[in-house]
Amino acid sequence: YLKISKLALAFAIIHSKPPGKSAKEYTEYLAKAVSEQDFGWKWKVEVLEAEVLRLRQELLLIRISPRFCLENRKQDTSAETLLGQESIKPTSYSSQLEDSGCDVCNDSAFDSLGIASDFHQSEHNVNTSKHWLERVPPLNLCHTSKEQSLAAPVHFLQRLLEIRNLSEGGILQADFSELENDSFTICNSVSQLLDGLTVFYNSPKFPAPSFLTEGVSVLISLINDTKLSNHVLKKCFKKIEEFKKTLIEIILRNRSVNRFQALHSVSQTLGLLGKNNILRSSLISLLLSEVRQFAEQLLQAHQVQSMYDITHYENIFLLCMILEQLLQNETEQSNISSSDYGGEEKIKFLKSLDQIILHLSDEFPLFSLYLWRVSVLLNSGQMQ
């Protein structure tokens, strides 16, 4: 039946083709017309799905804290003026972007964005609620941009965090058990935030938009919050793991000439994610795996005197720096058991490390030094 249908369609196209056009040209024209119609419908569906998610977000906030949403509506008029203001102005990051971006060896790399320290202060400051109470405007059904796709989940999660802060201070009553009843909304909001961050990290702009920095701040605060992190990590753990793998791939495959500015921002986000106790173990395993595989490939290329990927070699140092920073943090936190950190990848990494360092130390002294420093941290008393 399928063959007969295809044959009938072919005859219909041949008989209906206009004069001066071949059957192939007319077929390609019809295929293009149909695909454009499909694209239009897909776009409309995506816009409507985004609007449905926004409405579900508002409904979830109402269920968690009706009083918060009532106060939110009262501030609609003042919110219009606030929406145009920047909420975060990372001076240290903007000044860094004026540099060539080649200096990636700063020990304070993970704090240069000001994300961890600035947001930690605002976490306990009730006076910041005026900004967080901004009402998210309805989605423009005629136009959706990358900025809007990232701004929508950021605003929702900001408001959720502010409810959490106000309830913690006894100012507001909130029922966070509603998050269990509506896992769809929280999962899709976090997924939308991660997808938005991935888009901007794949195509970075300089200077970095303020909402990108704000999005990272919201993500880190969400997974570090004692009450909200259980809901987020339990329901979005797989998506966050994929996000970490994507960031590592972005670092490794970037080949632009002046790429270190963009990669520095990505490495900071990975470092901040690794500060979470739940996410740290899997991130260490991922980094150990990538560094080990590259070390083995470099050793093989060195032994047979073949060419190796110099860009990959340069980018791998960022992963080594992140890995060393995470392991150092572990050794400093003596109250946390680290016996399982790295797991199987730790064993694989240490198994043939001595031979790799021995053969590569003359030709690649800096990389060998990084491998040795990581091995020392893995073998330290705190990591066993």
Give the type of residue at 5: S
Give the type of residue at 251: I
Same domain, 56 and 191: yes
Mean pLDDT for 28-47 is 78
Same domain, 347 and 244: no
| Domain assignment of residue 11, yes or no | no
Query: For the residues of 161-181, what is the DSSP string, one character each?
Result: HHHHHHHHTTSS---TTHHHH
Q: Please indicate whether residue 85 or residue 345 has the higher confidence score (pLDDT).
A: 345
Among the listed residues 166, 177, 158, 92, the one whose alpha carbon sits nearest the alpha carbon of residue 125: 166
Rounded CA-CA distance 317/323 in Å is 10
Q: Which of 275, 300, 323 is the last residue of a domain?
A: 275
| Domain assignment of residue 76, yes or no | no
Query: For the residues of 285-334, what is the DSSP string, one character each?
Result: HHHHHHHHHHHHHHHHHHHTT----HHHHHHHHHHHHHHHHHHHHHHH-T
Rounded CA-CA distance 6/199 in Å is 40
Same domain, 235 and 321: no
Q: What per-residue confidence (pLDDT) applies to 99? A: 43
Question: Of the given ranges (93-102, 154-163, 218-227, 317-326), which has the lowest mean pLDDT?
Answer: 93-102
Rounded CA-CA distance 263/250 in Å is 8
Same domain, 30 and 155: yes
Report the mean per-residue pLDDT for the chain.
77
Same domain, 54 and 155: yes
| Domain assignment of residue 234, yes or no | yes
Same domain, 228 and 303: no
Same domain, 229 and 378: no
Residue 292 pLDDT > 90, yes or no? Answer: yes
Q: Which of 246, 275, 304 is the last residue of a domain?
A: 275
Q: What per-residue confidence (pLDDT) applies to 82? A: 39
Rounded CA-CA distance 117/139 in Å is 32
- Tokens 């569906």 belong to 45
Q: Which of 241, 275, 309 is the last residue of a domain?
A: 275
Same domain, 323 and 231: no
| Domain assignment of residue 302, yes or no | yes
Q: What per-residue confidence (pLDDT) applies to 283? A: 93
Same domain, 163 and 34: yes
Same domain, 266 and 299: no
| Domain assignment of residue 96, yes or no | no
Mean pLDDT for 65-88 is 54
Q: What per-residue confidence (pLDDT) applies to 360? A: 92
State percent of the chain over pLDDT 90. 24
Q: Please indicate whether residue 100 or residue 360 has the higher confidence score (pLDDT).
A: 360
Mean pLDDT for 142-150 is 60
Residue 46 pLDDT > 90, yes or no? Answer: no
Q: Please indicate whether residue 141 or residue 245 has the higher confidence score (pLDDT).
A: 245
Q: What per-residue confidence (pLDDT) applies to 89? A: 40
Q: What per-residue confidence (pLDDT) applies to 324? A: 93
| Domain assignment of residue 196, yes or no | yes
Instruction: Print the domain residue range for 315.
Output: 292-334+341-383
Q: What per-residue confidence (pLDDT) applies to 380? A: 78
> Running DSSP on this structure, what letter comes out for residue 109?
G
Mean pLDDT for 309-314 is 90
Q: What per-residue confidence (pLDDT) applies to 104? A: 42
- pLDDT band for 247, please (50, 70, 90 cuts): very high
Q: Please indicate whether residue 129 or residue 176 has the higher confidence score (pLDDT).
A: 176
Tens of pLDDT, residue by residue over 202-246, are 887 766 777 788 889 999 999 988 888 888 888 888 999 999 999
Question: Of the given ranges (120-134, 221-235, 258-272), which has the lowest mean pLDDT?
Answer: 120-134
Give the type of residue at 59: L
* Tokens found for residue 200: 């901007």
Same domain, 152 and 248: yes
Burial, 37: exposed, middle or buried (Cβ in 10 Å; 0-12, 13-18, 19+)? exposed
Max CA-CA distance within the chain? 83
Sign of torsion over alpha carbons 23, 29, 31, 33: negative
Instruction: Compute the chain's Rg from CA coordinates.
Output: 26
Same domain, 53 and 190: yes
The number of folded domains in the chain is 2
Q: What per-residue confidence (pLDDT) applies to 73? A: 58
| Domain assignment of residue 28, yes or no | yes
- 3-class SS letters over the chain: CHHHHHHHHHHHHHHHCCCCCCHHHHHHHHHHHHHHHHHHHHHHHHHHHHHHHHHHHHHHHHHHCHHHHHHHHHCHHHHHHHCCCCCCCCHHHHHHHCCCCCCCCCCCHHHCCCHHHHHHHHHCCHHHHHHHCCCCCCCCCCCCCHHHHHHHHHHHHHHHHHHHHHHHCCCCCCCCCHHHHCHHHHHHHHHHHHHHHHHHHHCCCCCCCHHHHHHHHHHHHHHHCCCHHHHHHHHHHHHHHHHHHHHHHHHHHCCCCCCHHHHHHHHHHHHHHHCCHHHHHHHHHHHHHHHHHHHHHHHHHHHCCCCCCHHHHHHHHHHHHHHHHHHHHHHHCCCCCCCCCCHHHHHHHHHCHHHHHHHHCCCCHHHHHHHHHHHHHHHCHHHC
Mean pLDDT for 109-133 is 41
| Domain assignment of residue 347, yes or no | yes
Q: What per-residue confidence (pLDDT) applies to 79? A: 39
Q: What per-residue confidence (pLDDT) applies to 340? A: 54
